[in-house]
Amino acid sequence: MATIFETKSFVVEAFDKPHVSREEGGHIKIFPKQKISNRTEMSPAMAIEFIRLTMIVGKAFEQAMKNRGLEIMRINYHDMGNWAYKSGKQPVFHLHIYGRAKNAVHQPFREAVYLPDRSTGFYDAFKPLNETDIAEIRKQINIVAAEEKYQDKNWL
């Protein structure tokens, strides 16, 4: 996974084995730096930081992928963790952010993201975000984060 952006408590990463292929909108994740199993374990300050970050990243991701030539129709946000139980592990909280492109074939934006087990081979041909996509997402995160709406004074 390639790191896109970091805050005090979170890391935004491009997922190297995406659930949505790059040409169908792409897939990124947000992980807390401190391992927790679900969002109820966040402190109030961490929860505020998380929500603000998801809003910034979602808006930036959509614009970045549009700038990269994809007709993004929607951004989906998913926190799950069920697959950890398959290997006897406890889930680690993380949020998936999916771009949903108008012309998507494998993950059509009008449908819920299809998430079969990795062993099915469904994702094998899916492409991760490339370095140019990641650079554009970083650029857009900085632009969005500078907007009045996302200034600290509006979130404390």
Residue 117 lies in a domain: no
Nearest to 98 by CA among 131, 123, 118: 123
Residue 122 lies in a domain: no
Q: How far apart are the first and last CA of the chain?
A: 31
In single-letter form, the type of residue at position 5 comes to: F
Residue 67 lies in a domain: yes
Q: What digits encode the pLDDT tens for the residues 54-92?
A: 999 999 999 999 999 999 999 999 998 777 887 888 888
Please, which residues have CB within 8 angstroms of residue 145's CB and are 6 or more apart in sequence?
56
Question: Please, are residues 77 and 97 in contact by the beta-carbon 8 Å criterion?
Answer: yes
pLDDT > 80? residue 1: no
Residue 48 lies in a domain: yes
CATH number, domain at 92?
3.30.428.10
Global confidence as pTM: 0.94
Residue 121 lies in a domain: no
The model's confidence at residue 52, banded by pLDDT at 50, 70 and 90, is very high
Residue 120 lies in a domain: no
Residue 118 lies in a domain: no
Q: How many domains does the chain have?
A: 1
Domain interval for residue 81: 2-112+128-154
Torsions phi, psi for 87 (to 5 deg) = -105, 15
Q: What digits encode the pLDDT tens for the residues 3-32?
A: 999 999 999 999 899 999 999 999 999 999
Residue 119 lies in a domain: no
